[in-house]
Amino acid sequence: MIKAELQARMRRLLEGRAKPEDLDRLFLDQRETAHGMESFRELGDFLAHRDERTKGPVTRRVRDVFTSFRVWSLGLRGLKPSLDDLKAAGMANLSLLNDEELMAGCGMRRDAVKTKFEKAFRKLAAARSLSASDMQMLQFLTNRFIWRPAFTDDDLLKDFLEVSIRNQVLSPEQQAKLITARSSLMLYAITRLHGAVIKVADGHVATLYAGFANDDRRLEVKVDLGFDGWEKPVHAPVCMFWTSLTAAEHCDKSLLDQTETPQWNSWKQPIELDEEGKLRPLV
């Protein structure tokens, strides 16, 4: 019965007549059978727990970026990082850097970098001298602020296709039709991520905000990793979900007018899709 229901809701999406609750069910009812597709499972989990996320790829990415930023910004706040700070930043940046960047910066594969990094910190803890290669690796991993989106619209579309086909909610022959519904799917995801809350660290939560405060004026979802509780408040809004959709094409005039000079948190009100499939304030 559930599969038949999901197939019917998928047909609505392919025919351009899906409602938000159709997509809610497509994600929620398949999140336990997401076959390792992280962006799909993550969106389903956000739907189930928008008040405070404590796990999942977006949460892990936000925490890694927050750690990278927190340690890097200590100097801006007149503070000196401890060894624990540097180790935390290095491990976070190791997770954030891709394989090509690690090879370029350290000359080794990821597993070898991790092993060498851990050995270097054991040397530091024992007050032993470090080799030149140790110092180069530590400088590369700890002395920087790194961020990258948790996922993009390409990631989400690929995962949505894979999960729906493997669960027999979408047939392989229907893939082309679903690709034409790409914009609707991404705009829906933006409305569901906007306003969700992530527990970043002890006593600190961060809210996700949709908007288009970037040079290309593309729609995205950002999170501010700054912390007002710091002695010198610093803000760092970074993108967690990046899309190829332009605000001019996919936003109602009311949202564009109120953000002539858009800020990362200009959209403080809830948003929804209107009858034409554009983003608008939820009133």
Residue 10 confidence class, pLDDT cut points 50, 70, 90? very high
Residue 52: Cβ within 10 Å count: 11
265, pLDDT greater than 90: no
Q: pLDDT, tens digit, for every residue of 137-162?
A: 999 999 888 888 888 999 999 999 99
Give the mean pLDDT of the chain: 88
**What is the pLDDT, as a whole number, of residue 228?**
60
The size of the chain, in residues, is 283
229, pLDDT greater than 80: no
Query: 257 and 207 in contact (C-beta within 8 Å)?
Result: no
* Residue 116 token pair: 């060498």
Q: pLDDT, tens digit, for every residue of 100-147?
A: 999 999 999 999 999 999 999 999 888 899 999 999 999 999 988 888
Query: 195 and 32 in contact (C-beta within 8 Å)?
Result: no
**What is the pLDDT, as a whole number, of residue 222?**
93
**What is the pLDDT, as a whole number, of residue 110?**
94
**What is the pLDDT, as a whole number, of residue 214?**
92
Q: pLDDT, tens digit, for every residue of 241-250?
A: 999 999 999 9
- Compute the average pLDDT of residues 194-222: 88
**What is the pLDDT, as a whole number, of residue 221?**
95
**pLDDT > 70 fraction of the chain, expressed in percent and rounded:** 93
Residue 206 confidence class, pLDDT cut points 50, 70, 90? confident
**What is the pLDDT, as a whole number, of residue 224?**
82
Residue 259 confidence class, pLDDT cut points 50, 70, 90? low
**What is the pLDDT, as a whole number, of residue 79?**
83
**What is the pLDDT, as a whole number, of residue 202?**
67
232, pLDDT greater than 70: no
Bridge partners of residue 218, in order along the sequence: 246
